[in-house]
Amino acid sequence: MPRLWRGNETRTAAAPPQQLCQLPCLRACGTTVTRTGAAAHEAECPLLAVKCAAADFGCDWSGRRHQQAAHTAACGLRGVLPALRKMAERIDEQSQRIATLEAQLAEHTKPSVWHHLRDAFCVANGVTLRNGWNPAKSDFWFTKDRHGFVHLDGIIRGGNADSDHAVLTLPEGYHPRDSILFNGGQAFGEVLIDPLGDIYVQATGAKDDGISFGGVSFSTR
């Protein structure tokens, strides 16, 4: 034991209580342990309750540690245990890969959010009809899918259509890569959407029939 010197006196330093306190093993294996040595004894106590090394693969044996070696020698799964462990590792890897693919699929198939003229997105981005145009009962709708395609739907009617004044401007990120033309219904001729997102209509008939945007799609990339 270490000695402490004080003047001409010699004293012996007391050991910590956890080293001095000797306790018998709780499983009555006959071993006496200190508080600090309890964890180390736990890892080697012969009376610790254990399961077969192949418990995860179907063996339901359980017993004491000192009995485990005899069981392992007789266990029917002993010979295939290495192969079973490799198979389990591959199953875990495949399960993780499947989980990743399922997450990617869920993201890929996530429904697109459709915006209409009265929702918060359109209000925040100033998307509104101009020149006297108003939405019909179906309103004017638009969305963009994960592939960068914008899809339009709905009917508007009642406004003044000409090729010099935009009916509506789509928000940033929803503009076509190139100008597109489509037929807006029997009462109207071509509808133009330019790369700035401005929508122009040229009237050829009664404006009360409205402009249909159903089925109109274009790429933003």
CATH number of the domain to which 46 belongs = 3.30.40
68, 50 Cβ separation under 8 angstroms = yes
Quote the number of domains for the chain: 2
Q: Are residues 193 and 129 part of one domain?
A: yes
Q: Are residues 64 and 157 part of one domain?
A: no
- Per-residue pLDDT at 59: 92
**Total-model pTM:** 0.52
Residues 17 and 34: their CA atoms lie apart, in Å, by 9
178 within a domain of the structure (yes/no): yes
189, 119 Cβ separation under 8 angstroms = no
Q: Are residues 127 and 215 part of one domain?
A: yes
Nearest to 220 by CA among 105, 156, 142: 142
Q: Are residues 119 and 69 part of one domain?
A: no
Residues 178 and 173: their CA atoms lie apart, in Å, by 13
Q: Are residues 121 and 204 part of one domain?
A: yes
Give the residues across from 151 on adjacent strands.
143, 217
Name the strand (E) or helix (H) holding 112: none
Q: Are residues 158 and 70 part of one domain?
A: no
Q: Are residues 213 and 148 part of one domain?
A: yes
**φ, ψ at 33 (rounded to 5°):** -130, 155
Strand extents, DSSP E, 43-114? 49-51, 62-64
End residue of a domain, out of 23, 47, 74? 74
Question: What's the token pair of residue 121?
Answer: 């997105």
- Per-residue pLDDT at 191: 87
183-196 confidence digits (pLDDT tens): 876 556 678 999 99
181 within a domain of the structure (yes/no): yes
151, 140 Cβ separation under 8 angstroms = no
Q: Are residues 186 and 134 part of one domain?
A: yes
Name the strand (E) or helix (H) holding 115: strand 115-116
Residues 103 and 96: their CA atoms lie apart, in Å, by 11
60-109 confidence digits (pLDDT tens): 999 999 999 999 899 988 889 899 999 999 999 999 999 999 988 877 77
The domain that holds 178 is classified in CATH as: 2.60.40.1830
Range of the structural domain that residue 40 is part of: 3-74
Q: Are residues 135 and 41 part of one domain?
A: no
44 within a domain of the structure (yes/no): yes
Q: What is the DSSP letter of 26?
A: T
